[in-house]
Amino acid sequence: MRNVNKLIEEMTLEEKAGLCSGLDFWHTKPVERLGVPSIMMTDGPHGLRKQAETADHMGLNQSVPATCFPSGSCLACSFDPSLLKEVGRALGKECKAQGVSILLGPAANVKRSPLCGRNFEYYSEDPELSSELAAAYIEGVQSEGIGTSLKHYAANNMETRRMTMNEIIDERTLREIYLASFENAVKKSQPWTVMCAYNRINGDFCSENGHVLTDVLKKEWGHEGFVVSDWGAVNDRPSALAAGLELEMPYSGGENDKKIIEAVKSGKLPQSVLDGAVERILKIVFLAAENRDENAVCDYEENGRLARRAASECAVLLKNEDDILPLKKKGTVGVFGAFAKEPRYQGGGSSHINPVRVADPLESLRNMAGPETQVLYAQGYALDAKDGTFSNRPFQSNADTPDEKLIAEAVEIASKVDVAVIYAGLPESYESEGYDRKHLAIPAGQVRLITEVCAVQKNVVVVLSNGAPIEMPWLGGVKGVLECYLGGEAFGEAAADLLFGAVNPSGRLAETFPKRLCDNPSYLNFPGSSKEVEYREGIFVGYRYYDKKEMEPLFPFGFGLSYTDFEFTGMTADKTEMDDTEKLTVRVTVKNVGKTAGKEVVQLYVSDEESNVIRPLKELKGFAKLSLQPGEEKTAEFILDKRAFAYYDEKHHDWTVESGTFRIAAGKSSQELLLGQTVFVKSTASFRQQYDMNTTLEELLRDPNAAEMSKTLLKMLGEGMGISLEQDSGISEMFKASPLRQVVMFSQGRISEKKIREMLASMR
């Protein structure tokens, strides 16, 4: 590694300012005189979009062929960090073979609303799942000596006016949900770069948000790499530099470099800030250069096989009535839907890549069905719907006109076959970077096709391709639903593998599918007004909201079926009492009690049984995917530390645990918890004990350190009145709400303020 500090001494102000913005669309600037090389970065995240010629950040112009892996929302359903790591490693190899040093991904924004046009790139509504998966992806890519760019930091949760929108988010929500989704990815895997988002948070553009970029990311989480702007996300260059944004992308025409130079010369921007930024950039540039390998080659066939395996590991079996799946390899199968021939397998915008090869779903299904099965096909709906591509207006969910002729052809076949398989979902025009959806409907032509086929055929399976939740008014009429999300180039093969049982489905939903759009917690405040959006639902995002509201979703977070059955046979925890500096080891044992090999995802949720702050009913704090042969039993181990029990305390700007009993529950989904036990966790936070004369007796009772004091005071109060306040009763409830200053008054001289202050002091 070059001596970066010495190099900085040798660089001119102009060279330093120049290094802080791109050379062109995809490269950093070299400083040839000093031997500083230029490095290339490209999108990301689910494949390489290396543009050979005309560059753009909208995914418009052609890029070199690359393996198209499943998109983020799909990969997340694997609930399997080891798979994300494998995919990351394969992506790293492709980057290396293509001379790309940094891959612009993963994308770890939380899914606040199912409407966000870019949800297909994001992982989950849950920050724990999202950041663990992002960490694994980063680890995989970087193990090949290729950097990543964790994006879009932070709170880029919608596409509507994303370049200017101000997101109003309270500190606790920001910490517990939106920043938490990036936190472990940074702390565990040190992405070489973090990409700041376009939007503003609480007034400041992310590119100028010193709190988010420096206080949290660099100082608190210890990020060592540099921050790169999303393409064009810089508002005021010197302010951005001061806030902690080192590299502006793409090339800014030199304008912003000049502004940096002027700001340093005029003393508005300390030289040390610029030097610090240059140091961070140079370290990564040299790291990248050291890892370059002109002779690197990549095995695209192997990556293609991984893309297929990944897609099959991620698909979620949502319904399987009468064990309609797996299909038998005999009889007649009617296959319907244009997506069976022209699959939808990736999302639109900057992540849109040029796949090496795309599997034909119908062909793959035919191959898998074997010689004893007759497979018939009808298109069923037009891909380019008539009367405009689609309606993205609220309340008028769908204006596509069904094609009667195509539907009639399909119905004719459907009435004669043993089983109908319909490929349906969202066309690319429905969801993309750059805009949000306005409704959860799939095109009307597809809905009609499903309904009409169901009218003549009782065995219907729907195979879905979509980047985000849809509504399913037809669900009751079909026997099987296989949610494949955007499964990448091998989606067609993976779907065939799953439909015929060559692979047992093991994906679990990484987000809730609501019954109706208006059930979603962000509904009243999405996408907000023309300039601002308030995150009024606070921490109640996804299942945290549906749980608390006791609102039944279409499919809950964590849900997914299998062709085999699993039993949760045991749970142990190594402690029943601990303080918050200790760690709790929880073990959960699962047995495959069915006849087929399969994988179960053990999900571990933690609930605070009683709390002074408003908390979700439960939160995911661990997950593990176990592969089990029939009859086999395995144990998953989880280590829970303070954060598993903590909430973000806005008053003290820190994570804190309230002393008390916590429930640890393990299950198959957020709504199917099968085993549980409790642990008493004692807080060590000193500030919890800073009580005053306005602290209530009830608050003291909840704190194990103060409970005795509260009981003593209640006893003394009761004695004065000739009643017992120690037993639970309406009157004791009333007294428990009294602040200590009232205790002095109600005691009529029996308890002095001095005495109370002494008791408080002795407790500390």
Other C-beta atoms lying within 10 Å of the C-beta of residue 307: 31
Q: How far is the CB of 572 from ligand BGC (least distance, A)?
A: 44
Which of residues 122 and 648 has its CB atom nearest to ligand BGC in the complex?
A: 122
Query: How many other C-beta atoms can be found within 10 angstroms of the C-beta atom of residue 128?
Result: 21
List Cβ neighbours of 707 (8 Å cut-off, separation of 6 or more): 700, 701
DSSP-based three-state secondary structure for 386: strand
Site for ligand BGC in 86-145 (CB under 6 A): 104
By beta-carbon proximity to ligand BGC, the closer residue of 192 and 540 is 192
Give the integer Cα–Cα distance in Å for 168 and 485.
31
Instruction: Name the β-bridge partners of 218.
Output: none
Q: How far is the CB of 531 from ligand BGC (least distance, A)?
A: 20
* Nearest residue to 606 via CA among 577, 638, 563: 638
Q: Which is nearer to ligand BGC, 198 or 513 (CB)?
A: 198
What are the DSSP E strand ranges found in 300-444?
316-320, 331-336, 373-378, 419-425
AA identity, residue 375: V
Active site residue 400: no
Tokens matching residue 205: 């553009």
CB 113 within 8 A of CB 158: yes
Number of residues forming the site for ligand BGC (CB under 6 A)? 8
Single out the residue of 27, 29, 46, 57 in contact with ligand BGC (rule: CB under 6 A). Answer: 57
Map residues 33-52 to x or -, x wherever contact with ligand BGC holds by CB under 6 A.
Answer: ----------xx--------
- CA nearest 94: which of 152, 26, 150, 145? 145
Give the torsion through C-alpha atoms of 290, 292, 298, 300, to 10 deg.
110
Q: In 328-372, where do the E strands start and end?
A: 331-336
The nearest distance, CB 65 to ligand BGC, in angstroms, is: 18
- We find the least distance from the C-beta atom of residue 245 to ligand BGC, in angstroms, to be 15
- The burial class, CB within 10 Å (0-12 / 13-18 / 19+), for 203 is exposed
Report the residue number, 231 or 423, with the smaller CB distance to ligand BGC.
Answer: 231
CB nearest ligand BGC: which residue? 57
The minimum distance between CB 104 and ligand BGC, in angstroms, equals: 4
| Structural contact between residues 645 and 608, judged by C-beta atoms closer than 8 angstroms | yes
Question: Contact, 709 vs 641, CB < 8 A?
Answer: no
Taking the least distance from each CB to ligand BGC, the nearer of 148 and 607 is: 148
Considering beta carbons, is residue 75 or 263 the nearer one to ligand BGC? 75
**DSSP line for 125-185:** S-HHHHHHHHHHHHHHHHTTT-EEEEEEETT----TTTTTPEEE--HHHIIIIIIHHHHHH
Pick 231 or 638: Cβ nearer ligand BGC: 231
Pick 43 or 547: Cβ nearer ligand BGC = 43
DSSP 525: G
Q: Are 597 and 629 in contact (CB under 8 A)?
A: yes
The smaller minimum CB distance to ligand BGC, of residues 123 and 735, is found at: 123
Say how far apart CA 259 and CA 468 lie, in whole Å.
42
Closest contact distance (angstroms) between CB of 238 and ligand BGC is: 23
Cβ within 8 Å of residue 550, ≥6 positions away: none
**Using CB under 6 A, which residues numbered 201 to 230 contact ligand BGC?**
230
Full 3-state SS string of 63-98 = CCCECCCCCHHHHHCCCCHHHHHHHHHHHHHHHHHC
- The nearer residue to ligand BGC, 231 or 336, going by C-beta atoms, is 231
| Among residues 291, 312, 350, 457, the one that binds ligand BGC under rule CB under 6 A | 350
* C-alpha Rg value of the chain to the nearest Å: 29
Q: Rounded CA gap, 50 and 56, in Å?
A: 11
Contacting residue, 122, 192, 231, 647, with ligand BGC by CB under 6 A: 231
Site string for ligand BGC, 280-319 (x = CB under 6 A): ----------------------------------------
Residue placing its CB nearer to ligand BGC in the complex, 196 or 281: 196
Q: Of the listed 80, 126, 230, 608, which one is catalytic?
A: 230
How far apart are CB 122 and ligand BGC at their closest, in Å?
11
Write the DSSP assignment of 527-583 as a string of letters. Answer: S-SSSEEE-TTTT--THHHHHHTT---SB-TT--B-SS-EEEEEEEES-SEEETTS-
Site membership for ligand BGC, residue 465 (CB under 6 A): no
- How far is residue 738's CA from residue 701's CA, in Å, rounded to a whole number? 12
Please answer whether residues 121 and 159 qualify as being in contact, where contact means their C-beta atoms are separated by less than 8 angstroms.
no
Phi, psi of 675 (to 5 degrees): -135, 150
Contact residues toward ligand BGC (CB under 6 A) are 43-44, 57, 104, 151, 230-231, 350
Active site residues: 230
